[in-house]
Structure 1
Amino acid sequence: MNSILIWNCRGAKKKKASLYLKELVKDHNVLFIGLLETKLVIIEHKDVDYLSGTGWNYSYVPSASLSRVILVLWRSNLANFNMIESSSQFIIGNLDILNKGKWRIATIYGSKDVSNGRLLWNGLEPHITHDWPMVISGDFNCLLAKEDKKGGRNFSFSLGPREMKYFMTSNDLHELNFIGPRLTWSNNKKGSDRIMERLDRIMVDSFVVNCNQ
């Protein structure tokens, strides 16, 4: 079974990133990859070949901030990806999988700023579809519950989380369960200074939920 991979790689040119990505692709039969925080100014085919091996097509969103460049890749012999819209916070498009139909996929690298978060939801909403499977996945930079954080300031259900929750509810989107640690980000500090948060999520529409029941 083919799978979709979204990863905040924090630097696509690192040798460890390339080795790890190729291992994930092989072990999980990945046909679509969304990479966040690539830190690449210009992305060429040689960069893609270095990262994931040969046989991949790609598209990306240039950005003045290197950490905000989003890169998506797909296996050219198994699928084709048609980008519908992009911004500094997302790439959204249709993934046509050979002999398996169409998926709409949004790869997200959300802003911590509430007003920019609103731009993300407003940008995605016109492209929400329930006619075929839809996946919205990535680093949303937003906490939704007190269980999503350990250390630092106490969680507050402020405007940012409320607007994300409203976006999910109004568009009938559901967060998938996960395997592994709940908290996906760390400030890499120790002791009482250590902060861990759940910033990465996968949301799907009811089409996907019903198919997996």
Structure 2
Amino acid sequence: METKLSSIDRREIDFLIGKDRDYWHYPAVGISGGILVLWNKKLVSFDVKENSSQVIVGNLSVPNLGIWKVVTVYGSRCCRERGSLWNQLEKCMEDSFPAIIGGDFNCILNKEEKRGGKRFFFSKGPKDMKCFMMNLDFHDIGCIGPRFTWCNNKEGASQIWERLDRCLFDSFAIQKLPLAAIRHLARVASDHSPIVLKLDVSVRFKSKFIKFEDTWRSYLAAKSVIYHSWKKKDYGDENMILQRKTSRTLRALFFWNKNKCKDLNILKEKLKEEILEFQNKEALGENLSADDLLLLRTKST
């Protein structure tokens, strides 16, 4: 949460949101910025590890879910200053906790994330952010609701919309919470839309292990995923290096499969429904045409 305040005390927190919330505040620089993180101390604990004008990094301990690395970002509008943000985050991601990064990055990654204003260019700012995401294995899990999260609140040709706010998961977090969803809420008293992350913990993987699927070998893209995951540098004992490389590569393949092959899964389910429909007609004694029978055999194979 961006406060634009140089200080916040306990009484203000109690008045705004109640006594059940604990908080950490990094003061604003001038009249912009300032990051406020709040958590319900009766449900979770949050241990702040790093903080600066652009980020608050902490370990969130959640009952039944363990420890999570949670990062709240307020990225600088200056591309050069955002470079220090990526460097700071890289140093914070050395442990093995699942990690989530969310907030206002003040950066868009492609032309679909902007409407109005100057034409989008894939310049140093977006390149640096993409490079950070690729090197540290972070992924944008998409959103529900309006496409853009910020508007300059002008009218006509001067109006600009952008998706400046987002939530990033590493592959470990995605594996833990495959049904997590981001929702963009309505803008009310701000030029930004609030974003809500729902961690749906009702569906979890029964196994902690990801198995290599033989079908992945039939896709050329899978070779690229393996190559880029495996070539990342690791240090330490050879056995630990091999374990980390294998684990990282399998997580990358899992996430790639989840996103790139989802259309195939949708098609498979659709074909199952059509086959079931034909089979129900057949079971009820309805006459199927020759074309229907041919189509049923084709779909079944």
Structure 1 length-normalised TM? 0.80
Q: Residue 90 in 1 paired to residue 55 in 2?
A: yes
Aligned partner of residue 132 in structure 1, secondary structure: coil
User: Would the aligned equivalents of 1:90 and 1:107 in 2 still touch at CA under 8 Å?
Assistant: yes
Please report the RMSD computed on the Cα atoms of aligned residues, expressed in angstroms: 1.3
Q: Which residue does 1:7 correspond to in 2? A: none
How far does residue 130 in structure 1 lie from its aligned partner after superposition? Answer: 6.2
Q: Residue 117 in 1 paired to residue 93 in 2?
A: no
Runs of 4+ in 1 over 6 A off after TM superposition: none
Query: What is the rounded CA distance, in whole Å, between the counterparts of 1:158 and 1:78 in structure 2?
Result: 42
Between structures 1 and 2, the one with greater helix share? 2
User: Would the aligned equivalents of 2:73 and 2:105 in 1 still touch at CA under 8 Å?
Assistant: yes
Q: Residue 167 in 1 paired to residue 132 in 2?
A: yes
How far does residue 67 in structure 1 lie from its aligned partner after superposition? Answer: 2.4
Runs (5+) with no aligned partner, structure 1? 1-34
How far does residue 100 in structure 1 lie from its aligned partner after superposition? Answer: 3.0
Aligned partner of residue 144 in structure 2, secondary structure: coil
Query: What is the rounded CA distance, in whole Å, between the counterparts of 2:158 and 2:67 in structure 1?
Result: 45
Tell me which of 48, 66, 78 is aligned to 1:101.
66
User: Would the aligned equivalents of 2:7 and 2:25 in 1 still touch at CA under 8 Å?
Assistant: no
Q: Residue 45 in 1 paired to residue 13 in 2?
A: no
Q: Which residue does 1:176 correspond to in 2? A: 141
Query: What is the rounded CA distance, in whole Å, between the counterparts of 1:50 and 1:182 in structure 2?
Result: 33
Q: How does 1:1-213 map to 2 (within 5 A)?
A: 35-36=1-2, 38-129=3-94, 131-213=96-178
User: Would the aligned equivalents of 1:130 and 1:207 in 2 still touch at CA under 8 Å?
Assistant: no
Bigger radius of gyration: 2
How far does residue 169 in structure 1 lie from its aligned partner after superposition? Answer: 0.3
Identity of aligned residues (%): 45
Aligned partner of residue 32 in structure 2, secondary structure: helix
Relative distance call for 1:106 and 1:62 in structure 2 (3 A) is: same
Structure 2 length-normalised TM? 0.57
Aligned length: 178
Query: What is the rounded CA distance, in whole Å, between the counterparts of 1:74 and 1:121 in structure 2?
Result: 25
